[in-house]
Amino acid sequence: MKYMSRFSPVSMMTIAYSLQIVGILLPVLSQSAWSVLLSAMSFGFTFVGLVTMSTAYARQLFPKQSNYVVSILTTFYAIGQIIGPVIASRLETHFRTFKAPLLFAGGTVTVALVLLLVGYFYSRKSPVHLAVDIKY
């Protein structure tokens, strides 16, 4: 969080997502003890940071509705924590290797990074500021 005040939240999350993608995909390329250790560290270090940065960024974008937006983020996070292992298990069973679930997870995090960047660039071009009231 120290760097979030110095750099933009999107740039910090882009770095964290990129490190996480590398951490997820590293065991697909190599199963040595060092690569698995590096994978676990890069995923673990970025995991909590991304959750924290995403929540802070959501509060920054929607200050008047921050509780509502954070509850939506938390709900989707929980759904992902339930569905992800089910999909990973089925992929591993079907392909008989852990590389398939890792590729799926890496792809999913890559999609999250792309959505973050598309949303960021779209919001910068949009004449409507994001901190407007959400109608629900």
Distance CA 46, CA 77 (A): 15
Distance CA 21, CA 30 (A): 15
pTM of the model as a whole:
0.84
Tell me: the pLDDT tens digits for 71-90? 999 999 999 999 999 999 99
Residue 35 near residue 29 (C-beta atoms within 8 A): yes
Distance CA 7, CA 4 (A): 5
Amino acid identity of residue 35, one-letter, is: S
Phi, psi of 129 (to 5 degrees): -75, 145
| Token pair of 35 as six digits | 């690569």
Tell me: the pLDDT tens digits for 96-118? 999 999 999 999 999 999 999 99
**Pick from 57, 31, 43, 38: nearest CA to 105:** 43
